[in-house]
Structure 1
Amino acid sequence: MNLFYIQSTVDGVNKVKSYLEDNYIGIPWSVLGDLEQASMESIAEQLEQRYNLAGGELSDAVETVHTFVNLIEDGDYVVMKDEEWMYIGDVGDYYYDDSIGTSDDLICHRRGVTWLGRVPLEEINEHMQILLSEPKFIAQLMLPVTQAQLDQALRGTEGAAGTALTETTELSPVNTVTGNISARVEQSTINTALEILERALHSENEQIRVHAAAAILQYAKS
């Protein structure tokens, strides 16, 4: 399991709201078509011909595509930021969506994301501060994911872990799963589920801890 940071501004347009509302992240260069089976050589050639990229700019673009399409895997973590917050998500598979066109203002190269929560930028640790200052479009945390302390951040201090994403948008799974749970499930079942989640907070698996922390927080705010 790996952790990646992705820029939330594409061609000068901030995509945070769109990414949160539609549960995805993406990269530009939509006219390249579906890249799942494309070789890096053909991608480089297309970037050079269609976008007039060369030198370091071309190398950076090829690296971005390779990372987004081939290196990121289902179940990895992704973070992005705006002026105040770092948003944390669980990434899904790559897919190409050209249903509304392939113009440069559209994002067709996508990965689905389950957003887990957000943390104030001033409350993330030094490793994440360094990662979020990377100039690359996509950067990987070159440390064990445990060093990011995502689980501590999500359940962390008042105002950090407890801040829901729903102030800006109505989100999916992690934000809605506990919404009206008490109206549909007996209290004894809820108590049992919470006990399981509390035990999961101490799991050796980082992903399990993060999901457990996010679920408990969302229940607390419901």
Structure 2
Amino acid sequence: MYFPRIIQISRHRHRISYKSSLPSGEWLCGVCRQNIEIDYGAYSCDKCCNYVVHSICALGKDVCDGEDLEGVPEEDDITLGVESFDVISEGVILHFLHDHHLYLQASTLYDENKFCQACVLPIFEGNIYSCIECGFILHETCAQSRRKLQHALHPHPLTLRHLNQYEYVEFECDACDRFCGGFIYGCHLKECDFDLDIRCASISEPVDYQGHEHPLYLALNSEEQPICHSSVGGRNM
């Protein structure tokens, strides 16, 4: 009876509302991927007819901030209208994390001394944006990363920023536990202290992994194995 009526979770783009029971049928939790008993309370999406979440899963601290949004106007998609760069002309952009124009080029040779300033991976073959005034380089895909992101691993929106060379620090990604530099997505709330490197932030569920035949979903905590959408004999594989 004390559960919030309407909440926003990190695993779904729409708000979900509490229902004391569900219509007859088989329901699969959108977070833990386990079956849901229809006679117990659950959260469901009014816009997506088949999205349902266990109450406990929906209110987990890594999934929801617990705020009751009943009566609060629903905001538009936070990722819309916040592009990371302005198009100056064909093949020329101005990225919000760099002061100079970046020019689109095709990289054909590997140079061990050139790294993408966003993902800190080497530059191989492919399209890149480079600065003619300094050594700033971005993979084309990294340049297209949005300023704001809602990620499945955190209940609050994440904002893109540059951990540049002048800070002389590295940060530990809260997803892969690696010490990283370059671009990071961080929570604006200081008490969260949550950061993702741009590579981990780019992963969304479901994950199509070439070593497994079914889609994979993020587990509830780092000690669990990735969750397979399909099950055999009632057990996730």
Q: What TM-score range do you get, normalising by the shorter chain?
A: under 0.3
Q: Which has more strand, going by share of residues?
A: 2
Q: Which has more helix, going by share of residues?
A: 1
Q: Which has the larger radius of gyration?
A: 2
TM-score under structure 2 length normalisation: 0.26
TM-score under structure 1 length normalisation: 0.27
